[in-house]
């Protein structure tokens, strides 16, 4: 295994984050704060509690998930798309690194960044509302697994996209609706039965639900099911990455 090669890619990606620290951290923190003001304060004044938890506190896990998903996908997709776009990918393709070493480097860096961001948002949220974390270890498990899975997903998008529009389209048309309809800002118990059932087909619901359970012990669906869904998604992405590298899809002609 070319550990030095992995480290080179990882450090390179982390250095890129370092250069754009302002966008990478400040903007998600600001948008989270805005969500708190809008959803927490405005709506929270009408919905005071959800199952015994204040509305402001209730939305924290969902918000973190929202940021985690969008940032993981954005970072990882850009990380691999950009060298393809500029042509610098030639060096990585000609280097003695295997497929999986490339993935570990890129996805590892993107996931590290999103986990860090998730923790920063958690810290920001603590300034606005009371937080309790019932199962801290599980919280970290969900945080890391989600960051890794969605960074992998982003990596796939970065390889599939052959222009900047495509790079934007999946996050915008698929991810945003799924996160907003995935119980980020509400419990699906608050929905009419039909929409409750539709929600059950939304994979993001399982992530948010499991993550929220690690905070307050509240869940829309069983925790085991949540965990299984995250692992299933991870497995799907890994399979797709394996296929891409076996066939050289979009990387080698």
Partner 1 sequence: MPAGRPPAISVSGLNKTFASGFRALHEIDLEVRPGEIFALLGPNGAGKTTLISIICGIVTATSGRVEVAGYDNVADFREARSRVGLVPQELTTEAFETVWATVRFSRGLFGKPPDPDHLERVLRDLALWEKRDHQIMTLSGGMKRRLLIAKALSHEPDVLFLDEPTAGVDVDLRQDMWEVVRGLRASGVTVILTTHYIEEAELMADRVGVINRGGLTLVEEKSALMRRLGAKQLILTLAEPIEELPEGLADKRLELAAEGWELVYTYGKEGEGKDIAVLLTELTEAGIRFTDLYTEQSSLEDIFVHLVRERQ
Q: Determine the 3-state secondary structure of 103 from DSSP.
A: helix
User: Which backbone phi and psi does 50 adopt, to 5 degrees?
Assistant: -125, 115
Calculated CA dihedral for residues 9, 14, 15, 20, nearest 10 degrees: 140
Contact predicate 245/99, CB 8 Å: yes
Q: Which helix (H) or strand (E) holds 53?
A: strand 53-54
Contact predicate 129/56, CB 8 Å: yes
- Rule CB under 8 A: is residue 166 a binding residue for partner 1? no
Q: What is the largest CA-CA distance in the chain?
A: 59
Q: Binding pattern to partner 1, positions 68-87, x when CB under 8 A? A: ------------------xx
Strands (E), 179-248: none
Beta bridge partners of 53: 50
**110-139: which residues touch partner 1 (CB under 8 A)?**
none
* Cβ 1 to partner 1 shortest distance, Å: 9
Out of 2, 54, 168, 176, the only residue in the binding site for partner 1 (CB under 8 A) is 2
Q: Which stretch binds partner 1 (CB under 8 A): 73-81, 90-98, 156-164, 173-181?
A: 90-98
* Cβ 8 to partner 1 shortest distance, Å: 3
CA–CA gap between residue 44 and residue 165 (Å, rounded): 36
Out of 16, 135, 166, 196, the only residue in the binding site for partner 1 (CB under 8 A) is 16
* Cβ 243 to partner 1 shortest distance, Å: 15
Out of 4, 22, 48, 132, the only residue in the binding site for partner 1 (CB under 8 A) is 4
* Cβ 175 to partner 1 shortest distance, Å: 27
- Rule CB under 8 A: is residue 12 a binding residue for partner 1? yes
Out of 27, 34, 90, 200, the only residue in the binding site for partner 1 (CB under 8 A) is 90
Q: Which is nearer to partner 1, 86 or 224 (CB)?
A: 86
Out of 23, 27, 88, 222, the only residue in the binding site for partner 1 (CB under 8 A) is 88
- Rule CB under 8 A: is residue 97 a binding residue for partner 1? yes
Cα→Cα distances 232→64, 154, 169, 228, 235, Å: 21, 16, 24, 6, 5
CA–CA gap between residue 83 and residue 106 (Å, rounded): 12
- Rule CB under 8 A: is residue 14 a binding residue for partner 1? no
* Cβ 2 to partner 1 shortest distance, Å: 4
CA–CA gap between residue 77 and residue 49 (Å, rounded): 38
- Rule CB under 8 A: is residue 238 a binding residue for partner 1? no
Contact predicate 156/80, CB 8 Å: no
- Rule CB under 8 A: is residue 246 a binding residue for partner 1? no
Q: Footprint of partner 1 on this chain (CB under 8 A)?
A: 2, 4-5, 7-9, 11-12, 15-16, 19, 86-88, 90-98, 248, 252-253
């Amino acid at each position: 295994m070319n550990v030095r090669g992995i480290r080179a890619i990882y450090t390179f990606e982390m250095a890129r984050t370092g250069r754009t620290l302002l966008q990478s951290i400040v903007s998600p923190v600001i948008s989270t704060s805005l969500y708190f003001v809008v959803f927490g304060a405005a709506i929270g004044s009408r919905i005071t509690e959800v199952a015994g938890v204040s509305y402001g506190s209730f939305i924290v896990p969902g918000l973190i998930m929202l940021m985690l998903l969008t940032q993981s996908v954005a970072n990882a997709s850009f990380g691999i798309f950009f060298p393809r776009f500029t042509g610098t990918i030639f060096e990585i393709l000609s280097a003695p690194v295997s497929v999986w070493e490339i993935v570990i480097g890129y996805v590892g860096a993107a996931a590290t960044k999103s986990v860090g961001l998730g923790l920063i948002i958690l810290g920001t949220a603590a300034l606005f509302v009371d937080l309790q974390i019932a199962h801290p270890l599980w919280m970290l498990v969900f945080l890391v697994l989600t960051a890794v899975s969605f960074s992998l997903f982003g990596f796939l998008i970065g390889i599939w996209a052959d222009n900047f529009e495509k790079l934007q389209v999946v996050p915008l048309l698929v991810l945003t609706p799924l996160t907003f309809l995935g119980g980020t800002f509400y419990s699906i118990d608050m929905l009419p039965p039909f929409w409750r059932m539709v929600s059950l087909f939304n994979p993001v619901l399982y992530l948010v639900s499991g993550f929220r359970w690690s905070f307050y012990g509240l869940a829309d669906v069983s925790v085991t099911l949540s965990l299984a869904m995250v692992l299933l998604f991870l497995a799907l992405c890994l399979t797709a990455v394996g296929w891409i590298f076996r066939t050289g899809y979009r990387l080698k002609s």
